[in-house]
């Protein structure tokens, strides 16, 4: 699904197939890493909105109520089960498996 997001924002090609043909696995993984640090598009707007909501809530919270962080105000489009932290090797294997499933080709 991340490939669709890249294409939506004009990165890597006009279609997912075009992106797959021209983008290396390493570049794809770098884009994923960059996005985790610097969200763009709608994801950035969602975080921005959550920050404003958290600020508004915290400025007006009652005495003795705890401070809430922006992640408490993020829109959840689907439920996510709590996952254990993964090592870098586990994340890379999972991303490579996702790429293989998406493209039908094993990464180089």
Answer for the pair 47, 39: CB distance below 8 angstroms, yes or no.
yes
**Higher confidence at residue 5 or residue 69?**
69
Q: What is the pLDDT of residues 8-32, one digit of tens each?
A: 888 888 999 999 899 998 999 999 9
pLDDT computed for residue 78 by the predictor: 55
Angstrom distance (rounded) from CA 93 to CA 103 = 15
Token pair 């400025």: residue: 59
Q: Is the pLDDT of residue 77 over 90?
A: no
CA dihedral 44, 73, 59, 40 (to 10 degrees): 0
Does the pLDDT at position 59 exceed 60? Answer: yes
Q: Got the DSSP string for the chain?
A: -HHHHHHHTT-S-SSHHHHHHH--HHHHHHHHHHHHHS--THHHHHHHHHHHHHHHHHHHPPTTPPP--GGGG---SS---------HHHHHHHHHHHHHHHHSS---
Terminus-to-terminus CA distance in the chain, angstroms?
20
Mean predicted lDDT score pLDDT of the chain: 85
Percent of the chain with pLDDT over 70: 91
Query: pLDDT tens digit string along 38-55?
Result: 888 888 888 899 999 999
């Amino acid at each position: 699904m991340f490939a669709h997001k890249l294409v939506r924002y004009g990165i890597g090609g006009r279609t997912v197939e075009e992106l797959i043909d021209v983008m290396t696995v390493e570049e794809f993984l770098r884009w994923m890493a960059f996005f985790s640090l610097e969200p763009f598009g709608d994801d950035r707007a969602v975080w921005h909105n959550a920050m404003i909501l958290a600020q508004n809530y915290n400025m007006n919270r009652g005495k003795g109520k705890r401070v809430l962080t922006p992640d408490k105000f993020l829109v959840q489009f689907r439920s996510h089960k709590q996952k254990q932290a993964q090592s870098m090797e586990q994340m890379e294997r999972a991303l490579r498996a996702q790429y293989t499933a998406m493209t039908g080709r094993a990464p180089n």
